[in-house]
Amino acid sequence: MTFATIDLEIGKEDAHEIISESVDGLRVKSVNGSIEYRNTGGMLLAILSNADGRNGVNATLRYQTSVIAPFLAHGRVKAREIRTAVEDYRTPNKH
């Protein structure tokens, strides 16, 4: 699996609340201060973590973008739903 990362201007707890309200069928687990999102089959879809707040980044979302086998493609779709839920809170690119 391959993951991409986006930075968020809202905090981890606010992002988690938005994701939880927007995306159905997730299993959620706290691991070492981060929040893991898995589908009902246990596949890791995304990880939401705190960030240091520099440059307006308060949380970071790593989400699945590709899978190793076609039968796992449903995980990529669900991961995209997670990313879409918080897309409006993505920090602007500084490039």
Q: What's the confidence (pLDDT) of residue 35?
A: 98
Q: What's the confidence (pLDDT) of residue 74?
A: 61
Q: Can you tell me the distance from the alpha carbon of 41 to that of 45, in angstroms, rounded to the nearest whole number?
A: 11
Full pLDDT tens readout for the chain, 95 residues: 689 999 999 999 999 999 999 999 999 999 999 999 999 888 999 999 999 878 889 999 999 987 655 555 566 788 999 999 999 999 986 43
- Report which of 93, 87, 88, 80 is spatially closest to residue 23, judged by C-alpha positions: 80
Q: Where are the alpha helices (DSSP H) in 1-94?
A: 12-22, 73-86
Q: Where are the alpha helices (DSSP H) in 1-95?
A: 12-22, 73-86
Q: What's the confidence (pLDDT) of residue 23?
A: 96
Q: What's the confidence (pLDDT) of residue 54?
A: 83
Q: What's the confidence (pLDDT) of residue 67?
A: 60
Task: Count Cα atoms within 13 angstroms, Cβ side, for 34.
Answer: 15
